[in-house]
């Protein structure tokens, strides 16, 4: 990671933030009276807000006409009992998530941050799933409280482990992302192990606007309104904080308390939205980004006094239009089985891709804060690498020995000599491919994550942002749910889907060159859209296929054969020396957009080669172990924390750590609840998140 000074890291991240700073400076010099140009710009901003408000009213009117009953306005019971509560919930949820996401992105100065990164949504989902899985009786009136309590407990855990709400937002967001993945893994494990008890919760996990009346909306509204009022009161603080910690401190803004208030407001808004309509995803990520893109056109919108209501309005419009479009396209009866969150994600992803394609950059991703890693000695690097290799050998050995049939080291020697008894030979013939698949895929994902984070210059980036994971999952699910499903067809579809998704992201993001900001945003849109379409297909598929598909989407090594592992191993052996040869280029690429050109690096060609390498590694890893996340995020961070930021050291250590992580997860998944098995991808998140948070706890922000 970059070792720039804190004042340099805290530089303005977008033209909207620069505009906000100029407005503040102008007001200070003019005694609090805005100049004529500022008034005209503010007028244009108010016009945009008014236009969006009119659009929301029109969308709400159309939304009221969509449903199973044609005579809605003539039937008061249908109108007030179904349509109005659904509309009201959509508006409240959209406003709450849009504003919560804006606060998180503003405080972290990172467009990849969202309400989900504090674990609120994942915590709510886990609490509801656990109550259903273990048969805990909860009164109907308290069902919403379970989701709210789960979200608040998860957020409190994240805040506590990250060092409190006043800590660095970079470390806070990273810790929240890691624990959110662990919460999601816990939920997925319960859905797999208690499939009968948790029926219907897969759909609830994508969010639904279905309401039994206005009672829930009326309980949520005062909380949302109160939180927004407080946020608007703090708007000037957020403007100054966006200019950097040093600038804010010199202007008298209390940095710690501002962060605390902003984060707590985001948590409260998100928990309220989840309680009202379930975990509706992507709105909290998409709406603030779209608001900042509009601020590129009308700079006055970059001030938080206007940016907060702008983000809330866009969030409400996205939710309402997505819900109405879903019912209009597939019919009211068909839309009943499709969660609202699927529609909002697809609709928001399309809008985000179009907006990111049309405009030059996103704003807050230009220079996100990074975590300073102290200089590490050569001796420490050698020790870490040797220990890692020893651990990797131990993981492979243990993986071969443990399972439903416990073996001894001598059994492996007999097997290698082709002299083992039939029972032992059968066990090792089955274990060997899956153990090698696990460590090889882990190494590939660790390397792919290292390349992605360096090229995109974002600490939250991982191979899934290239669209590969989502595309691979969608391709595999389409084949599995077809009449001609086969294992080979599923694997081919997974690779093709992953690479096509990456090609789509890169092709759409290219505009005479590749902006890292635009590439990330379009990758987010394509990835989330593919995941939403996968959920849509999964919910409409044969229920008997759901557990098998869901297990594969959670990452599994079950039934691996050598033909699925060898292609990945060959590509890894080719890409690893290629990446190491570009280690100095990666160091420079991780700095900024201009330095590579100044030192003579062919930026676009080098960037494309590295990204294609990461894409191929990630796609083939899907063949080996299914859809496994988190490794590409945690392995590079862990490597940098252990050996420093130089890629000559990060690359080998990240590869080894990724292999150890997935190999350990595979062994645990096969033995902890034997003879049943947990998907390796779930165990990766469960064991990797605590280690990742511990690393963040030990590290210190720039």
DSSP state, residue 687: H
Q: Could you report how far apart the first and last alpha carbons of the chain are, in Å?
A: 11
Residue 243, CA atoms < 13 Å, CB-side half-sphere: 22
CB-CB contact of 680 with 669 (8 Å):
yes
Q: Is 512 left (phi over 0), alpha (psi -120 to 50) or beta?
A: left
Name the β-bridge partners of 514. Answer: 510
CB-CB contact of 367 with 592 (8 Å):
yes
Return the closest-CA partner of residue 576 out of 450, 673, 411.
Answer: 450
CB-CB contact of 92 with 227 (8 Å):
no
C-alpha–C-alpha distance, residues 334 and 79, integer Å: 20
Which pLDDT belongs to residue 368? 45
Buried b (16+ CB within 10 A) or exposed e, 608-621: ebbbbbbbbbbbbb
* Complete DSSP assignment for 598-638: HTT--HHHHHHHHHHHHHHHHHHHHHHHSS--SHHHHHHHH
Alpha-carbon Rg for the chain, nearest whole angstrom, is 25
Q: At what angle do helices 255-277 and 169-193 cross, to 10 degrees?
A: 20
Name the β-bridge partners of 510. Answer: 514
Structure tokens at 628: 């496994």
Which regions in the chain score pLDDT beneath 70?
1-40, 67-75, 110-112, 138-144, 162-171, 173-174, 200, 202-203, 335, 358-375, 459-460, 483-485, 487, 513-514, 516-517, 542-548, 550, 552, 593, 674, 695-702
Return the closest-CA partner of residue 84 out of 236, 271, 214, 182.
Answer: 214
C-alpha–C-alpha distance, residues 104 and 264, integer Å: 10
Return the closest-CA partner of residue 224 out of 345, 126, 99.
Answer: 99
Q: How confident is the model over 340-367, as pLDDT tens digits?
A: 778 888 877 887 787 777 655 434 434 4
Structure tokens at 119: 């674990």
Please name each of the domains of the chain with its CATH number.
6-358 (1.10.3470.10), 378-698 (1.10.3470.10)
CA distances from 267 to 224, 284, 317 (A): 11, 12, 22
Alpha helices in 134-254 (DSSP H): 143-162, 169-193, 201-204, 215-233, 235-241, 245-250
């Amino acid at each position: 990671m970059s070792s720039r000074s804190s004042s340099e890291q805290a530089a303005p991240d977008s033209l909207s933030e620069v505009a906000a700073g100029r407005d503040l400076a102008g007001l200070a010099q003019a005694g609090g009276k805005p100049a004529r140009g500022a008034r005209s710009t503010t007028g244009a901003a108010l016009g945009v807000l008014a236009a969006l408000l009119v659009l929301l009213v029109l969308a709400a009117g159309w939304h009221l006409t969509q449903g199973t009953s044609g005579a809605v306005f003539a039937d008061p019971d249908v109108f007030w009992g179904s349509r109005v509560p659904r509309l009201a919930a959509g508006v409240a949820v959209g406003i709450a998530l849009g504003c919560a996401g804006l606060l998180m992105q503003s405080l972290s100065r990172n467009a990849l941050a969202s309400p989900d990164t504090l674990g609120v949504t994942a915590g709510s989902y886990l609490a509801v799933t656990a109550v259903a899985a273990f048969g805990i009786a909860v009164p109907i009136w308290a069902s919403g409280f379970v989701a709210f309590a789960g979200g608040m407990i998860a957020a409190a855990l994240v805040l506590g482990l990250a060092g409190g709400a006043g800590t660095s937002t970079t470390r806070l967001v990273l810790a929240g992302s890691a624990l959110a993945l662990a919460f999601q893994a816990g939920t997925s494990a319960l859905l797999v192990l208690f499939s009968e008890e948790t029926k219907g919760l897969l759909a609830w996990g994508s969010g639904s606007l279905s309401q039994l009346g206005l009672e829930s909306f009326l309980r949520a509204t005062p909380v949302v309104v109160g939180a927004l009022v407080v946020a608007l009161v703090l708007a000037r603080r957020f403007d100054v904080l966006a200019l950097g910690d040093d600038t804010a401190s010199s202007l008298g803004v209390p940095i710690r308390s501002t962060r605390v208030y902003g984060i707590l407001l985001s948590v409260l808004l998100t928990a309220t939205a989840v309680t009202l309509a379930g975990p509706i995803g992507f709105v909290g990520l998409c709406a603030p980004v779209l608001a900042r893109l509009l601020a590129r056109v009308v700079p006055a919108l970059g001030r938080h006094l206007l940016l907060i209501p702008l983000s809330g309005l866009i969030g409400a419009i996205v939710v309402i239009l997505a819900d109405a479009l879903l019912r209009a396209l597939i019919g009211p009866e068909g839309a009943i089985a499709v969660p609202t969150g699927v529609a909002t994600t697809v609709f928001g992803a399309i809008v985000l891709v179009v907006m990111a394609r049309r405009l030059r950059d996103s704003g807050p991703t230009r220079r996100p804060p990074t975590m300073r890693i102290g200089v590490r000695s050569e001796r420490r690097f050698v020790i870490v690498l040797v220990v890692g290799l020893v651990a990797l050998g131990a993981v492979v050995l243990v993986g071969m020995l443990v399972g439903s049939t416990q073996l001894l080291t001598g059994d492996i020697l007999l097997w290698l000599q082709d002299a083992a008894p039939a029972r032992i030979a059968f066990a090792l013939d089955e274990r060997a491919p899956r153990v090698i698949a696990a460590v090889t895929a882990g190494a590939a994902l660790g390397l792919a994550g290292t390349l992605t984070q360096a090229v995109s210059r974002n600490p939250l980036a991982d191979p899934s942002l290239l669209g590969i994971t989502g595309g691979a999952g969608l391709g595999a699910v389409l084949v599995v749910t077809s009449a001609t499903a086969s294992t080979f067809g599923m694997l081919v579809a997974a690779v093709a889907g992953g690479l096509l998704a990456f090609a789509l992201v890169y092709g759409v993001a290219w505009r005479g060159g590749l902006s890292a900001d635009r590439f990330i945003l379009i990758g987010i849109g394509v990835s989330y859209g593919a995941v939403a379409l996968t959920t849509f297909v999964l919910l409409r598929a044969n229920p008997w296929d759901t557990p098998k598909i869901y297990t594969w989407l959670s990452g599994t090594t079950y039934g691996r054969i050598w033909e699925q592992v060898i292609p990945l191993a060959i590509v890894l052996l080719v890409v690893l020396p290629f990446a190491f040869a570009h280690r100095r280029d990666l160091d420079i690429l991780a700095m900024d957009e201009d330095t590579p050109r100044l030192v003579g690096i062919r930026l676009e060609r080098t960037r494309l080669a590295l990204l294609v390498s990461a894409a191929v590694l990630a796609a083939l890893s899907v063949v080996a172990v299914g859809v496994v996340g988190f490794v590409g995020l945690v392995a590079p961070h862990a490597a940098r924390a252990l050996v420093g930021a130089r890629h000559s050291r990060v690359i080998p250590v990240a590869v080894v750590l990724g292999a150890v992580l997935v190999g350990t997860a595979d062994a645990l998944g096969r033995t902890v609840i034997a003879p049943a098995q947990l998907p390796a991808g779930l165990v990766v998140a469960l064991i990797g998140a605590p280690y990742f948070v511990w690393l963040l706890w030990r590290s210190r922000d720039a």
